[in-house]
Amino acid sequence: MPLRHDWSRGEIQSLLELPLMELLWRAQAVHRQANPGYRVQLASLLSVKTGGCEEDCAYCPQSMHHSSDVSGRPELAVEPVLARARAARDAGAHRFCMGWAWREIRDGAPFEAMLAMVRGVRALGLEACVTAGMLSDSQAARLAEAGLTAYNHNLDTSPEHYDRIITTRTYQERLETLQRVRRAGVTLCCGGIIGMGEGTGDRAGLLQVLSSLDPHPESVPINALVAVEGTPLEDQPAVDPLELVRMVATARILMPQARVRLSAGREQLSREAQILCLLAGADSIFYGDTLLTTGNPAVEADRELLAAAGVQAWP
Ligand code: SAM
Ligand code: DTB
Ligand code: SF4
C-alpha cells in the first residue's frame, strides 16, 4: 500500500473509534508487513540538563513555572554521559537519547559538549537522539555533521488543544523546528501525549498533523501523561490503557514505516496492556530504570516482557 500524507481528521477519528478488535486487526496487518520479525528497538534515555526550563508546558516537571521544578541537579559533562551510554549499550540498548530542559539551543560550551556527546555515542555504535527544544539551521547542520541520528521534538497534542497546554511557544514554531531538522538531514522523532484532558478529536488532530508530514517522522513517540505533583496537570485522571492501545494502533496504520515508540507511562501499565500495545504495532520502548525525571520499568522486567510477548530486541 502506498504511504499516504492526506489522511483527514474525520478518517483518523473513525479509525480511533473502530471496534477494538477491528482496529487491532488492521494495525497488525500493517505492522506484520512493515516489521515481519516484530522486532522492538530498545532506546535508553538520559537527562543531561534537568529542570529550570523557561517554557510552561503544563505536563512537565522541569518547567520553572511549576512547583515541581526539578532544577538543582548538575548538568552532566561529556565523560559521565558517555559512560552511561556505554552501560546502556552493554545492557542491550540500540539507541541513546539525551535530553536538555531548554527552550532552545544556544551556541557556546554546552552546545559544544552536546556535539561531543553525539560523536561519542555514535562511536559506541549506538544511534544518537537529542531533545533540546528549538534550534537554528546552523545548529541543526552541526548536529548532523556530528552524526546525530534523530532529533526529538514533539507536537504533543492537536493545534486546538495546544494553547491550553503551552503558552510560551506556538505550534507553528514547533513545526518550523521540525522543518529545520529535516532540512539538515537528521531523522525526526515527533509524537505526543495522551491523557491531558484532550478529546478523541484532538488525538485525531495530532495524528493528522503527524501523518501529513512528508516524509512521515521516522519515529513517533506515544506518551501517556505521567501526572507529576506540582504540575498543572497533577490531578488528571490516569488514561485508560485501551486508549493508549488505540492511539498506537492508529499511528501504526497511518505511518506504517515509522517506529512507534511506547514511551512515558509504561510504569502504570500492566504487562498485558503493554503486550496489547506491542500487538497494536508499537516497535520500540524506553529501556532503563528512568525516563528523564520519572520512573520507567526495570530492565529485568522489560526483558521478561519481551520474552513473554515472544518478540526480539532489535536489530
Ligand atoms: N525541552 C525539550 C522539548 O520540550 O522539546 C526536550 C525535553 S521534553 C521533557 C521532551 C518531551 O517529553 C516533551 O515534548 C513531552 O512530550 C514529553 N514529556 C514531558 N513530560 C512528560 C510527562 N509528565 N508525561 C508524558 N510525557 C512527558
Ligand atoms: C518522548 O516523547 N518521551 C520521552 C522522550 N521523548 C524524550 C520523555 C518522557 C519524559 C517523561 C517525564 C519525565 O521523565 O520527566
Ligand atoms: Fe521545557 Fe521541554 Fe519540559 Fe517544555 S517539555 S518545560 S520545553 S523541558
- For 87-96, the pLDDT digits (tens) are 999 999 999 9
Of 69, 152, 193, the one to substitute when testing ligand 1's pocket (max ligand atoms within 8 A of C-beta) is: 193
- For 172-217, the pLDDT digits (tens) are 999 999 999 999 999 999 999 999 999 999 999 999 999 999 999 9
In a domain, 138, yes or no: yes
Look up residue 175 and give its three cell numbers.
Answer: 513545526
Partners of 131 in beta bridges:
99
- Per-residue pLDDT, averaged over 99-105, amounts to 98
- Please choose, from the candidates 167, 152, 185, the residue with its C-alpha nearest in 3D space to the C-alpha of residue 261: 152
Which residue would you say has higher pLDDT here, 224 or 71? 224
List CB contacts of 212: < 8 A, sequence separation 6 or more. 5, 6, 7
SS3 1: coil
Contact 207, 250 (CB under 8 A): yes
Total structural domains in the chain? 1
Distance, CA 164 to ligand 3 centroid (Å)?
A: 15
Residue 315: pLDDT over 90: no
Report the distance separating Cα 30 and Cα 166, nearest Å. Answer: 34
Report the distance separating Cα 301 and Cα 38, nearest Å. Answer: 19
In a domain, 80, yes or no: yes
List CB contacts of 79: < 8 A, sequence separation 6 or more. none
Q: Which atom of ligand 3 is nearest to the CA of 100?
A: 8
Distance, CA 66 to ligand 1 centroid (Å)?
A: 14
- For 17-39, the pLDDT digits (tens) are 999 999 999 999 999 999 998 99
Catalytic positions, written as ranges: 53, 57, 60, 97, 129, 189, 261
Helix residue ranges, H only, 75-128:
78-90, 109-123
**Residue 2's pLDDT band (boundaries 50, 70, 90)?**
confident
Residue 1: pLDDT over 90: no
Contact 58, 50 (CB under 8 A): no
Q: What pTM was estimated for this model as a whole?
A: 0.97
Q: Which atom of ligand 1 is nearest to the CA of 59?
A: 23
**Residue 63's pLDDT band (boundaries 50, 70, 90)?**
very high
- Please choose, from the candidates 113, 62, 29, the residue with its C-alpha nearest in 3D space to the C-alpha of residue 264: 62
Burial of 196 (0-12, 13-18, 19+ CB in 10 A): buried
- For 148-169, the pLDDT digits (tens) are 999 999 999 999 999 999 999 9
- Please choose, from the candidates 51, 67, 53, the residue with its C-alpha nearest in 3D space to the C-alpha of residue 229: 67
- pLDDT at residue 82, as a whole number: 98
Nearest CA to ligand 2 atom 2: 221
In a domain, 308, yes or no: yes
DSSP 37: T
Contact 136, 177 (CB under 8 A): no
- pLDDT at residue 13, as a whole number: 98
Of 46, 59, 63, 294, the one to substitute when testing ligand 3's pocket (max ligand atoms within 8 A of C-beta) is: 63
Distance, CA 257 to ligand 3 centroid (Å)?
A: 28
In a domain, 1, yes or no: no
In a domain, 4, yes or no: no
- For 262-308, the pLDDT digits (tens) are 999 999 999 999 999 999 999 999 999 999 999 999 999 999 999 99
Nearest CA to ligand 1 atom 3: 133
Q: Which atom of ligand 3 is nearest to the CA of 154?
A: 5
In a domain, 218, yes or no: yes
Question: Positive or negative, the Cα torsion across 266, 269, 270, 271?
Answer: negative
In a domain, 2, yes or no: no
Structural domain that includes position 102: 9-314
- pLDDT at residue 72, as a whole number: 82
In a domain, 262, yes or no: yes
- For 243-274, the pLDDT digits (tens) are 999 999 999 999 999 999 999 999 999 999 99
CATH at 275: 3.20.20.70
Phi, psi of 277 (to 5 degrees): -65, -40
Helix residue ranges, H only, the chain:
9-16, 20-34, 78-90, 109-123, 137-145, 159-162, 171-183, 200-212, 241-254, 271-279, 299-309
> Any idea which residue has 484532538 for its cell?
202
Residue 302 CB–ligand 3 contact under 6 Å: no
Residue 141: pLDDT over 80: yes
